[in-house]
Structure 1
Amino acid sequence: MGYQLSAVVADADLLREQAAELDHAVLGELRQDFALLPVTPQLVVELTGSLPDFALDDRTDEHPFGLVLSPTLVEVLAGWSQQGPVAYLEAEFVGGTGYQSAAVWLGGASSWGPRFDNVLDAPRDQWPINAALIRLGVERGTWIDPFAELGLHLERNTDGWLAHGRRQLSADYWDELVEEWENR
């Protein structure tokens, strides 16, 4: 089973405000008052007025994302970051191989990244998604790293996050199910 992520992550209130008027925005609730906005082709069209462009080549340091971040999309994310840090996160894994990439905007400008890694042999805090989440203000908790702390492992792909958001599930929903199951 693979894992795929293409999402904007930020403070839940910030994303709720920015997404309030968008027809194709579905927010997934994460822990620590963060939220995830799955980036779909429909959302890109709504935000930019143009069809999304996708990289045909493998990810590299020079081209870290599968979704080509157009100047218009970057402008939107930078604008949102006037209210607080905003990250674009991307990951794809199948059969133990894959990559993760991330970038962060703050105060209307790029503040970190983009970073790409397809080896993940550095300490976990230096992996692109974890490093971006730390810059967003994710606090240490009982989970193994910021990725798990927020609950980004709970859904396997964009469709899962869309269903998560439409059902208005919290990241703690799955923990509650496990606890209920164990108590039976």
Structure 2
Amino acid sequence: MPYELNAVVGRFDLLRSETAGMRDADVVPLRRGVGLVPVTPHLLAEPMLRDWSRGGPIAHVEADFHGGVGHQSAAVWRAGAKVWGPAHTRDFTGPREEWPINAALALIDVVVEGSEEAAPHDLFQELGLGREQDMDGWRSAGRTARWAATYEATRHLQDLCLARGPLSREEAETLLRTWAAEQDAGAVTAELTCCVTRRNQSRPSGVYFLPRSLFLLRPRGLGAF
């Protein structure tokens, strides 16, 4: 099965903060508090990556596979400078932790919860980078996730869409309010600018998203990013 990825990866809260107000930038929640910004022609520029990395380490990762043959590349920025890479490979016979994307993820401090520090891990799989198969899928996931203010609310909204398919405004609001109450949320604000469910024409498999809703959910104790 073909696979395509071109994205910036870093802490979810860092990427949310750096992309605030950028029209073409959406942050997809991954596991372990990590986020992914699908790259567009307007987004990827070295000065931008340097600026973003001042708030924390980030990696630019790329992969392209067809028929089991392909390549990976990755580079890491930290404190306003490129500190590693770009590294490229078409040879995947070596240890997985040495493949460019896994090596870059380790360098931006992605860790597996509860694991021994020395144990090798496939961080690509641990974060869920195989969940989507192409850039259309990642951009759709980003549009779905943009409307929740916290990492936890974003992940929950994403899970709801994956599990239930298309959601009406009323269904989404009710489910998110219920979730927030279960998380011991205090006052929960759900501000909806326009929440209509429509099909994402770029995904013939029938995946839907909520294109213009805004859920500001900040459960007590989780804090604001």
Q: TM-score, normalised by structure 1?
A: 0.74
The offset of 1:27, in angstroms, is 1.1
1:73-84 aligned at under 5 Å gives the runs 73-84=45-56
| Greater relative contact order, per chain length (Cα 8 Å cut-off, separation 6+) | 1
Aligned to 2:155: 170
* Separation of aligned partners in 1, 2:159 and 2:134: 17
Pairwise CA distance, 1:173: 3.1
> Partner of 2:30 in structure 1?
30
Aligned pairs, number: 148
**1:152 and 2:129 are equivalent in the alignment:** yes
Structure with more helix by fraction:
1
Shift of 1:118: 0.4
CA distance in 2 between counterparts of 1:127 and 1:140 reads 17
**Are 2:139 and 1:138 aligned?**
no
Distance in 1 (CA, whole Å) between partners of 2:31 and 2:17 is 18
String of CA shifts for 1:45-83, please: whole Å, max 9, x gaps: xxxxxxxxxxxxxxxxxxxxxxxxxxxx11210111111
**What is the match of residue 107 of structure 1?**
79
Match of 1:69 in 2: none
Rounded Cα–Cα distance in structure 1 between residues aligned with 2:16 and 2:37: 9
Give, as a single letter, the amino acid of the residue that structure 2 aligns with 1:13: D
Larger radius of gyration: 2
Matched with 2:91 is 119
The C-alpha deviation readout for 1:75-96, integer Å capped at 9, x for no partner, is 2101111111010000000000
Q: Give unpaired runs (5+ residues) of structure 1.
A: 45-72, 178-184
CA distance in 1, matches of 2:37, 2:8: 5
Which structure's residues are more often strand, by fraction?
1
CA RMSD of aligned residues (A): 2.2
